[in-house]
């Protein structure tokens, strides 16, 4: 049994054993800061584990969370200030963009955490999005581009000018169109991916930040950071069909796997908002702590779980979404940012 496995076992102890466990946890975190740690239990006899990768921004590390145990498996150094990530569909490679200090995207093996290559994109990059079939990677690159990378060849296939301050890309389920938030223009650019060009732009609120698409691809929810609201885009008409006030500084956004709920973190305050997609109304706002950030919604055997970053405390919270009950708080030691999910087909997660 390795150190991480022992740590997860001793977390259940009490008294002096709990104190010893806490010390072991601190040692593991410090080791994670200096490099990677071998993990012997990263998979099961049935296949690979479902994992959540969280870049730790200025810490230049990545935290790996096991969704089954709801615990941190590893924190390893990458030497890159990353605020976004993408993991390939087979779970074998992790693409890590540099928000500052470099103009390439690094590629790491997920099993050894070894850096195995780079892709030059011509500027600092923020968020990464995979195409539905996993073949292409879309990177928002400063000052005004989306760079398209072939994940098989690890080569740039095109660079598309979209406008100043590109933030996040979402791709329709059929892979035909991409929607890109353009922060400095208060709009969303629509890309025809076959034609490799912008076909239209959609005015939204002030400083559109992040976006999420419903499973059927019919609606896109865009957080407008300066407006305190979310724009709802109808992808059949490419128009805004609703504007939903959510709170101060909306930031992260995620749609539930069944498409009935949207969760929005209000980074400018202490809440997240829950939206009913049938009525386009906020059902409730939930107090969670200062600076809630990026989030993910994951369903496990009928239970909806919210993984929510809390920047003020350097934590990732695991919340039962239906009850808003915090199940656990995962300490990552520095600012957590945008999540990347690996959900193997054999896993109970979606």
HEC assignment per residue over 254-281? EECCCCCEEEEEECCCCEEEEEECCCCE
Predicted structure pTM score: 0.87
Task: Judge whether 62 lies within some domain.
Answer: no
Give the whole-angstrom CA distance, residue 113 versus residue 111.
Answer: 6
Task: Judge whether 25 lies within some domain.
Answer: no
pLDDT computed for residue 16 by the predictor = 44
Spatial contact of 304 and 50, defined as CB atoms under 8 Å apart: no
Give the whole-angstrom CA distance, residue 49 versus residue 41.
Answer: 9
Alpha helices in 110-208 (DSSP H): none
Task: Judge whether 168 lies within some domain.
Answer: yes
**Residue range(s) defining the domain that contains residue 179:** 162-287
SS3 157: strand
Task: Judge whether 281 lies within some domain.
Answer: yes
Task: Judge whether 153 lies within some domain.
Answer: no
CATH code for position 191: 2.130.10.10
- How many domains, the chain? 1
- Mean pLDDT per 10-residue run, the chain (350 residues)? 36 41 45 38 53 97 97 96 95 96 96 96 97 97 98 97 98 98 99 97 98 99 99 99 98 98 98 99 98 97 96 97 97 96 91
262: its two tokens: 């949207």
Q: How far is CA 249 from CA 205, 242, 252, in A?
A: 12, 18, 10
Q: Tens digit of pLDDT for each residue in 67-119? A: 999 999 999 999 999 999 999 999 999 999 999 999 999 999 999 999 999 99
Q: How many CB atoms lie within 10 A of CB 148?
A: 22
Task: Judge whether 238 lies within some domain.
Answer: yes
SS3 30: helix
Task: Judge whether 325 lies within some domain.
Answer: no
pLDDT computed for residue 12 by the predictor = 35
Spatial contact of 87 and 110, defined as CB atoms under 8 Å apart: yes
Task: Judge whether 108 lies within some domain.
Answer: no
pLDDT computed for residue 203 by the predictor = 99
Q: How far is CA 168 from CA 175, 220, 277, in A?
A: 16, 12, 21
Phi-psi region of 19 (alpha: psi -120 to 50; beta: other; left: phi over 0): alpha
Question: For residue 22, what is the enclosing H or E element?
Answer: helix 16-34
């Amino acid at each position: 049994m390795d150190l991480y496995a022992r740590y997860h076992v001793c977390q259940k102890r009490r008294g002096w054993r709990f104190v010893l466990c806490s010390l072991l946890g601190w040692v593991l975190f410090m080791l994670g800061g200096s490099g990677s740690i071998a993990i012997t239990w990263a998979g099961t006899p049935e296949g690979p584990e479902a994992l959540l990768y969280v870049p730790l921004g200025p810490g230049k590390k990545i935290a790996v969370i096991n969704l089954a145990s709801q615990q941190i498996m590893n924190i390893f150094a990458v030497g890159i200030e990353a605020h976004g990530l993408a993991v390939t569909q087979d779970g074998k490679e992790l693409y890590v963009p540099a928000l500052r200090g470099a103009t390439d995207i690094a590629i790491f093996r997920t099993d050894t955490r070894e850096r195995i290559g780079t892709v030059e994109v011509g500027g600092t990059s923020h968020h990464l999005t995979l195409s539905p079939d996993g073949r292409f990677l879309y990177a928002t690159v400063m000052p005004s581009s989306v760079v398209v990378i072939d994940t098989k060849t690890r080569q740039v296939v095109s660079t598309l000018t979209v406008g100043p301050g590109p933030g996040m890309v979402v791709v329709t389920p059929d892979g035909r169109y991409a929607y890109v938030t353009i922060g400095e223009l208060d709009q969303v650019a629509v890309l025809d991916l076959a034609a490799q060009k912008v076909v239209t732009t959609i005015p939204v609120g002030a400083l559109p930040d992040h976006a999420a698409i419903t499973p059927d691809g019919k609606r896109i929810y865009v957080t407008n950071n300066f407006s305190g609201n979310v724009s709802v885009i109808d992808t059949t008409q490419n128009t805004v069909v609703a504007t939903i006030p959510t709170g101060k500084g909306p930031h992260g956004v995620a749609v539930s796997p069944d498409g009935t709920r949207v969760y929005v973190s209000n980074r400018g305050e202490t809440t997240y908002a829950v939206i009913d997609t049938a009525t386009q109304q906020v059902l409730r706002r939930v107090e969670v702590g200062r600076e809630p950030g990026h989030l993910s919604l994951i369903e496990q055997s009928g239970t909806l779980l919210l993984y929510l970053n809390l920047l003020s405390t350097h934590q990732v919270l695991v919340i039962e979404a239906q009850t808003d009950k915090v199940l656990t708080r995962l300490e990552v030691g520095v600012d957590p940012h945008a999540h990347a999910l690996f959900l193997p087909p054999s896993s109970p997660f979606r």
